[in-house]
C-alpha cells in the first residue's frame, strides 16, 4: 500500500499519507526524534546512524517532502529543524492514530514471538 503513494506537491500541504510514509521508517523517526530536541546539522543527524551520509540525505529529503522537517543552508552547514505547522489538527489526529497503531501492531508481533518462545520453553520443561 505504502509503495503506491504518490509524493506530489499539494496546494493544501502534504497529504497525511505522505507524512505517515515519512514516519513509517525507523531511521526517519529517529531523525525526527533527534530534531525534537532542537535544530541539527546534517552531519549531526548522520552521526548516530549506521549508514552513509548520502543515505541520510535521502531520508532527509523524504522528511522535507512530507513537510515535517525544513532545512536551510547557511555557509557550508545545512541546518534541519522540525516544522510544527506541518500538520493540521485532523491530519495530526490521523497520523497520530496510524503511527500509534503501527507501533502497537509491531509490539503485538514481538509479544506473540516472545510468548511462542515461552510456550515452547514450557513444553520442553
Partner 1 sequence: MSTRSTTHATFVLERTYDAGPARVFAAWASLEAKRRWFGPGDEHELDFRVGGSEHLVVNTAAGPRYTFDSRYQDIVPDERIVYSYEMYKDEDRISVSVTTVEMAPVEGGTLLTMTEQGVFLDDLDDPAAREHGTRELLDALGKAIADEAREVA
- Give the separation between CA 98 and CA 9, rounded to whole angstroms: 22
Q: By CB under 8 A, is residue 95 in contact with partner 1?
A: yes
Number of residues in contact with partner 1 under rule CB under 8 A: 41
Cβ burial, residue 78 (10 Å; 0-12/13-18/19+) = middle
Q: By CB under 8 A, is residue 47 in contact with partner 1?
A: no
Q: What does the longest C-alpha to C-alpha distance in the chain come to? A: 65
* Contacting residue, 10, 96, 117, 118, with partner 1 by CB under 8 A: 96
Site string for partner 1, 6-45 (x = CB under 8 A): ----------x------x--x--xx-xx--x---------
For Cα atoms 12, 35, 102, give the angle at the middle one, nearest 5 degrees: 70
Binding residues vs partner 1 (CB under 8 A): 1, 16, 23, 26, 29-30, 32-33, 36, 82, 84-90, 92-113, 115-116
Amino acid at each position: 500500500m505504502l509503495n503506491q503513494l504518490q509524493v506530489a506537491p499539494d496546494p493544501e500541504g502534504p497529504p497525511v499519507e505522505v507524512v505517515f510514509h515519512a514516519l513509517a521508517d525507523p531511521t526517519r523517526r529517529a531523525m525526527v526524534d533527534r530534531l525534537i530536541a532542537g535544530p541539527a546539522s546534517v552531519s549531526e543527524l548522520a552521526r548516530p546512524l549506521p549508514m552513509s551520509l548520502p543515505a541520510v540525505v535521502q531520508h532527509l529529503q523524504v522528511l522535507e517532502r512530507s513537510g515535517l522537517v525544513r532545512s536551510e543552508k547557511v555557509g557550508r552547514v545545512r541546518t534541519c529543524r522540525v516544522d510544527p505547522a506541518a500538520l493540521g489538527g485532523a491530519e495530526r489526529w490521523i497520523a497520530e492514530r496510524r503511527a500509534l497503531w503501527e507501533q502497537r501492531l509491531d509490539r503485538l508481533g514481538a509479544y506473540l514471538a516472545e510468548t511462542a518462545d515461552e510456550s515452547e520453553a514450557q513444553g520442553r520443561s
